[in-house]
């Protein structure tokens, strides 16, 4: 059974996501970009909810919109950006970059057009109420080793960030 408003919400959320992504890369002030990026992240969390991934959606909001973006805003406030805002926004090779990106986009469209039939037509319906449970089991059983490696990576990142941002080591 399909929910009624799925199509509308899909287009609504994805238009918000793409438009605010474009706002992110075009605004002059980094604070505006950060706010637009938060909008993108929140609408992506909505898309995850539509894909029956409530746990990933929650992690997206808590970690991305809550954690990483606060980090970004802190750095924006630490770094004096008055001078950068007066300068030119885009660098000199932007035409070359646009050509490269258009080529990449054409390639992606070509692949999607070619591979349209490869995807299975039926989607599996996961029970939503046990989603977090199943992900926890996967993380701690099948992916135990990568999970521990990720914790090690985060530890190294913490130490690295502190060492990098310190005045004198």
**Hey, which residues between 65 and 124 contact another protein (CB under 8 A)?**
67-68, 71-72, 75-76, 78-81, 83-84, 87-91, 93-94, 97-98, 100-101, 104-105, 108, 112, 116, 119-120, 123-124
Radius of gyration of the chain (CA): 21
CB-hemisphere CA count at 13 Å for 150?
Answer: 7
> What's the min distance (Å) between Cβ of 137 and another protein?
9
Asked if 39 is part of the footprint of another protein (rule: CB under 8 A), the reply reads: no
What minimum distance in Å lies between the beta carbon of 8 and another protein? 8
Rounded Cα distance, 33 and 78, in Å? 16
Residues 6 or more apart whose Cβ sits within 8 Å of residue 168: none
Cα 156 to Cα 82: distance, rounded to the nearest angstrom: 33
x-or-dash string of contact with another protein, 17-36, rule CB under 8 A? xx--xx-xx----x--xx--
Phi and psi of 63, rounded to 5°?
-85, -45
Q: How far apart are CA 7 and CA 39, in angstroms?
A: 20
Task: Determine if 129 is a binding residue for another protein (CB under 8 A).
Answer: no
Binder to another protein among 12, 110, 148, 161 (CB under 8 A)?
161
Q: Residue count at the site for another protein (CB under 8 A)?
A: 85
């Amino acid at each position: 059974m399909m929910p009624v408003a799925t199509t509308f919400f899909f287009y609504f959320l994805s238009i918000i996501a793409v438009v605010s992504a474009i706002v992110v890369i075009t605004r002059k002030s980094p604070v505006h970009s950060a706010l637009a990026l938060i909008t993108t992240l929140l609408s992506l969390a909505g898309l995850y909810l539509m894909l029956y991934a409530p746990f990933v959606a929650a992690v997206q909001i808590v970690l991305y919109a809550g954690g990483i973006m606060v980090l970004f805003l802190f750095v924006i406030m630490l770094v004096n950006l008055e001078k950068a805002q007066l300068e030119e926004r885009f660098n000199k090779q932007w035409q070359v970059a646009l050509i490269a990106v258009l080529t990449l986009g054409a390639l992606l469209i070509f692949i999607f057009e070619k591979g349209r039939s490869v995807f299975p037509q039926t989607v599996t319906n996961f029970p939503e109420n046990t989603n977090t449970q199943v992900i926890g089991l996967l993380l701690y059983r099948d992916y135990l080793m990568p999970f521990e490696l990720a914790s090690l990576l985060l530890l190294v990142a913490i130490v690295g960030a502190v060492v990098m941002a310190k005045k004198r080591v």
